[in-house]
């Protein structure tokens, strides 16, 4: 029988037995995330109308954005979608403050009502960079949606219009979010015990 790579085997086990006492502590189980994502879609539909341009920030928001897009459909929205890729220089789990564009949009932004989607708002530098970029591209309106907000960590003046959860000051993984490229596949959000 073909051997699975060690990392995959380890993560499969973690994703099945992740409650406290193992390596990852669950903060938000899959059902709670799903419930909140649908509520967010309702808020966004009411505020943004039928045809926003949804712009998720890769990579961390890709699972959140995929679920949000389908929840927007359920809420009667017919969004267009394109992506930007942003990378912030990090030392381990700490941001060093500089944001770099690693993937740009392909669709026309001029005149669009843009919804920027990200996984976490922490220092705010990533979201501020994305907002400036969309403004420079000629967006008519810009709103922002983050799944998680870590209160008290802002280093720049930016607000998220739609927030999933206020999150404790831990380094979280799962539901698209990673530490050193691992754990994105977990269906829940948790933190790695140190
Ligand atoms: P900010 O630019 O400091 O607001 O950081 C936001 C970005 O850093 C997010 O887009 C995430 O990709 C990443 N990030 C911040 N905190 C975490 C975390 O706890 N887990 C995984 N990624 C994080
Ligand atoms: Mg990110």
Residue nearest to atom 22 of ligand 1 (CA): 177
C-alpha 110 to ligand 1 mean position (Å): 28
DSSP output for 18-32:
-SBTBSEEEEE-HHH
What domains sit in the chain, N to C, each tagged with a CATH number? Answer: 30-172 (3.40.50.2020)
pLDDT score recorded for residue 176 = 98
Q: List helix spans (H) across 18-156.
A: 30-48, 62-74, 125-136
Condensed to tens digits (0 to 9), the pLDDT of residues 41-68 reads 999 999 999 999 999 999 999 999 999 9
Averaged pLDDT, 148-158: 95
pLDDT of residue 99: 95
Nearest partner of 142 among 121, 175, 174, 116, judged by Cα: 116
Q: What is the pLDDT of residues 6-54, one digit of tens each?
A: 343 344 444 443 443 447 999 999 999 999 999 999 999 999 999 999 9
In the predicted model, is pLDDT for residue 104 greater than 50? yes
Contact 137, 110 (CB under 8 A): yes
Q: What's residue 61's pLDDT?
A: 98
pLDDT at 111: 98
**Ligand 1 centroid – CA 169 distance (Å):** 11
d(CA 108, CA 190): 37
């Amino acid at each position: 029988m073909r051997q699975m790579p060690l990392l995959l085997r380890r993560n499969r086990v973690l994703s099945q037995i992740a409650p406290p006492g193992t390596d990852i502590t669950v903060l938000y189980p899959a059902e709670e995330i799903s419930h909140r994502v649908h509520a967010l879609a309702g808020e966004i539909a009411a505020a943004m109308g039928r045809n926003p341009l949804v712009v998720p920030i890769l990579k961390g928001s890709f699972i959140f954005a995929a679920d949000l897009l389908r929840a927007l459909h359920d809420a009667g929205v017919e969004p267009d979608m394109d992506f930007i890729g942003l990378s912030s220089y990090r030392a381990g789990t700490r941001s060093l403050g500089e944001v770099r564009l690693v993937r740009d949009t392909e669709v026309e932004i001029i005149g669009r009502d843009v919804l920027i989607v990200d996984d976490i708002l922490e220092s705010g530098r990533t979201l501020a960079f994305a907002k400036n970029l969309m403004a420079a591209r000629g967006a008519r309106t810009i709103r922002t949606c983050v799944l998680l907000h870590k209160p008290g960590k802002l280093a720049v003046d930016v607000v998220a219009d739609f927030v999933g959860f206020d999150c404790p000051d831990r380094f979280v993984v799962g539901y698209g979010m990673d530490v050193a490229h691992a754990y994105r596949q977990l269906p829940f959000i948790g933190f790695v015990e140190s």
